[in-house]
Amino acid sequence: MPDKKEITIEELAMFCKRKGFVYPSAEIYGGLAGFWDFGFLGVELVNNIKKAWWHVHVKEREDVVGIDGSIITNPRVWEASGHVKNFVDYIVKDKKTGEEFKVDAHEVESYKKNDKYIVEGVFNPMFTTNVGPHAGKGNLVYLRPETAQSIFANFKLVFEQARLKLPCGIAQIGKAFRNEVAPREFLFRAREFEQMELEYFIAPDTKCPSEYMDEIKSVEVALLTEDMQKKKQGAKVMKIYDAWKKGIINSDWHAYWLAKELGWFLSLGARGEKFRARQHGKDEKSHYAVDTWDLEYEFPMGWRELEGIANRGNYDLKQHQEVSKQGFEVLVDDKGTKVLPEVICEPSLGLGRAFIVFMLEAYEHDAKRDNIILHLNPKLAPYTAGVFPIVKGDKYEKLAGNIVKDLRKEFSILYDKSGSIGRRYARNDEMGTPFTITIDEDSLRKKTATIRDRDTTKQVRVKIDELKDVLRKLVAGEIKFEKAGKAVETRVK
Ligand code: ATP
């Protein structure tokens, strides 16, 4: 991809609305701050992001299973987890503009000392509602502010039923809700959003297997430790593995998951230099965390948290054990030894923030083509391919229709028979469709079709019978586009 001009978050939001990715929720009534609806392309993209995340975090692994917990649950979960008491934001008001926003506990003192602001008070961002027809204390419930707690509450059941052994993980993708004081910056800070979370459990003081550590040896990132921040130093690029060896990252497991999380973004086409790992200061950590490294991304608004990667210790299981009076210890050998597992790492990623990252990475205005090209990875693109008959006539449309029907058994396919071929290409480039297949005279005579590559506009001709197999290999990245068939001269780019 050529050097690209970065766009603002507002420009991205406008593009997403114009193309059918994301709209302000119920815009016909003026929308509602912090709530968004995904359109016909957006829903495909988020489903593909979730699928790609689930594949790497659950399906590819021997040690992780998933669950899908309810959004509303017994409120004692949130009392035990500490959210009712400790999950608070401080509301700060800008005296001049009247604008309100939230700050974390560790930032409050500096705002109190600054004449320009008033610290108005604390606020718990959990949404509440009532179960049953009667409002009242006994019926008060919360919309979950994180998905993690249903993993902890169900830990014992899942561990035993899935016959897990430490170390192991439980993953979940689902909605979370926070009544943010100032939702802003498109999907970055929403009131309703989705999280993709993994709780990874180990027996205390056990090491990360060397084959896991070998996997991450080459992954590097700009690191910003607590100490470097205190000294106002800039981030330093280093191998995550080396950072662990030097004791900069305390735990091997933490280094492993940090590298895996970054690696996931890189494997889907993101640029490494846009990421950094920043350690939380002592007073910045959440109430449950032992150590936290945020995977940050350079958003158009600046460096911001993309994903929190926290060591939660045994805080949550211990709390639930104490409050529920159920045992959460598990066997670790045949001699009957039991331990309370520790959550050595919790990668917690907001789907909306991942969506923004993939869109920003993909978006390019190509001056030569005078068009926006969305260079989405084929695994994420809403449509894998577009199919266009380029010669008018029933027999061409019939053939194209049959090809579409067959390809749809496996791929997401867009059929488009209207407009000039150039317009059809351009429309699909803007939607991020990586491949477009054209049906012409030779398709009837020689049973071949052309495939066009979105990024280079190069074309190859392949046998119709082989289209499915070729597409499968192209999406998996198993073959280079040029090797997918016989090169043909490109007339319309
Ligand atoms: P922030 O400091 O930005 O409010 P946080 O530290 O409170 O985030 P966590 O509690 O660590 O966030 O949540 C884990 C992840 O969930 C975040 O890294 C982010 O990707 C996502 N997330 C949290 N709050 C929101 C939100 N209001 N809108 C969209 N995504 C969110």
Q: Would you say residue 229 has pLDDT above 70?
A: yes
Looking at residue 423, what is its pLDDT?
A: 95
pLDDT band for position 492 (cuts 50, 70, 90): low
Look at ligand 1, atom 29, and give the residue with the nearest C-alpha. 189
Read off the tokens for 38: 């995904």
Whether omega for the bond prior to residue 2 falls within 30 degrees of 0, making it cis, is no
Q: Give the C-alpha distances (Å, rounded to integers) separating 292 from 244, 287, 309, 378.
A: 14, 11, 6, 33
Looking at residue 3, what is its pLDDT?
A: 53
What is the per-residue pLDDT across 434-460, written as a single tens digit (0 to 9) for each?
A: 999 999 999 999 999 999 999 999 999
Domain annotation for the chain: domains and CATH numbers: 9-72+143-360 (3.30.930.10), 383-488 (3.40.50.800)
The C-alpha atoms of residue 428 and residue 433 are separated, in whole angstroms, by 5
Mean pLDDT, rounded, for 32-57: 98
The finding on whether 350 has its CB within 6 A of some atom of ligand 1 is yes
DSSP assignment string, 150-219: HHHHTHHHHHHHTT--SSEEEEEEEEEE---SS-BTGGGB-SEEEEEEEEEEE-TTPPPPHHHHHHTTT-
What is the per-residue pLDDT across 317-376, written as a single tens digit (0 to 9) for each?
A: 999 999 999 999 999 999 999 999 999 999 999 999 999 999 999 999 999 999 999 999
**Whole-model pTM?**
0.96
Across the beta sheet with 385-389, what order do the strands follow?
Answer: 413-415, 385-389, 435-439, 448-453, 459-463, 486-488
Read off the tokens for 160: 């035993």
- Cβ-proximal residues to 416 (8 Å cutoff; 6+ apart), any chain: 386, 387, 388, 424, 427, 428
Q: Would you say residue 245 has pLDDT above 80?
A: yes
Looking at residue 223, what is its pLDDT?
A: 97
Distance from Cα 26 to the centre of ligand 1, integer Å: 24
Q: Would you say residue 2 has pLDDT above 70?
A: no
Looking at residue 138, what is its pLDDT?
A: 83
Q: Give the C-alpha distances (Å, rounded to integers) separating 370 from 38, 412, 426, 427, 438.
A: 27, 26, 9, 12, 22
Three-state SS sequence of 300-320: CCEEEEEEEEEECECHHHHHH
The C-alpha atoms of residue 247 and residue 396 are separated, in whole angstroms, by 65
Tokens 């309703």, residue located: 192
> Which atom belonging to ligand 1 lies closest to the Cα atom of 292?
11
> Which atom belonging to ligand 1 lies closest to the Cα atom of 354?
20
What is the per-residue pLDDT across 71-104, written as a single tens digit (0 to 9) for each?
A: 999 999 999 999 999 999 999 999 999 999 999 8
Count CB neighbours of 6 within 10 A.
12
Q: Would you say residue 4 has pLDDT above 80?
A: no
- Cβ-proximal residues to 39 (8 Å cutoff; 6+ apart), any chain: 19, 20, 21, 22, 23
Distance from Cα 410 to the centre of ligand 1, integer Å: 34
The finding on whether 353 has its CB within 6 A of some atom of ligand 1 is yes
Based on the number of CB atoms within 10 Å of its own CB, is 457 exposed (0-12), middle (13-18) or buried (19 or more)? middle
The finding on whether 461 has its CB within 6 A of some atom of ligand 1 is no
Q: Would you say residue 232 has pLDDT above 80?
A: yes
Look at ligand 1, atom 23, and give the residue with the nearest C-alpha. 350
The C-alpha atoms of residue 410 and residue 378 are separated, in whole angstroms, by 14
Coil vs helix vs strand at 57: helix
Task: Report yes or no: 174 and 317 within 8 Å, Cβ to Cβ.
Answer: no
What is the per-residue pLDDT across 137-174, written as a single tens digit (0 to 9) for each?
A: 789 999 999 999 999 999 999 999 999 999 999 999 99
Q: Would you say residue 244 has pLDDT above 80?
A: yes
The C-alpha atoms of residue 122 and residue 87 are separated, in whole angstroms, by 10
Average pLDDT of the chain?
Answer: 95
% pLDDT > 90, the chain: 92
Distance from Cα 426 to the centre of ligand 1, integer Å: 35
Task: Report yes or no: 152 and 199 within 8 Å, Cβ to Cβ.
Answer: yes
Across the beta sheet with 89-94, what order do the strands follow?
Answer: 100-103, 89-94, 117-123
Look at ligand 1, atom 4, and give the residue with the nearest C-alpha. 189
Look at ligand 1, atom 25, and give the residue with the nearest C-alpha. 189
pLDDT band for position 106 (cuts 50, 70, 90): confident
Please name the amino acid found at residue 291. D
Pocket test for ligand 1, best of 353, 355, 357, 358 (most atoms within 8 A of CB): 353
Looking at residue 396, what is its pLDDT?
A: 94
Side-chain half-sphere exposure of 430, counting CA atoms within 13 A: 18
Pocket test for ligand 1, best of 195, 299, 349 (most atoms within 8 A of CB): 195
Distance from Cα 474 to the centre of ligand 1, integer Å: 34
The C-alpha atoms of residue 376 and residue 374 are separated, in whole angstroms, by 6
Looking at residue 137, what is its pLDDT?
A: 73
Pocket test for ligand 1, best of 173, 257, 305 (most atoms within 8 A of CB): 305
Q: Would you say residue 490 has pLDDT above 80?
A: no
The pair phi, psi for residue 362, each rounded to 5°, is -85, -30
Give the CA dihedral 170, 172, 177, 182, nearest 10 degrees: 90
Distance from Cα 206 to the centre of ligand 1, integer Å: 29
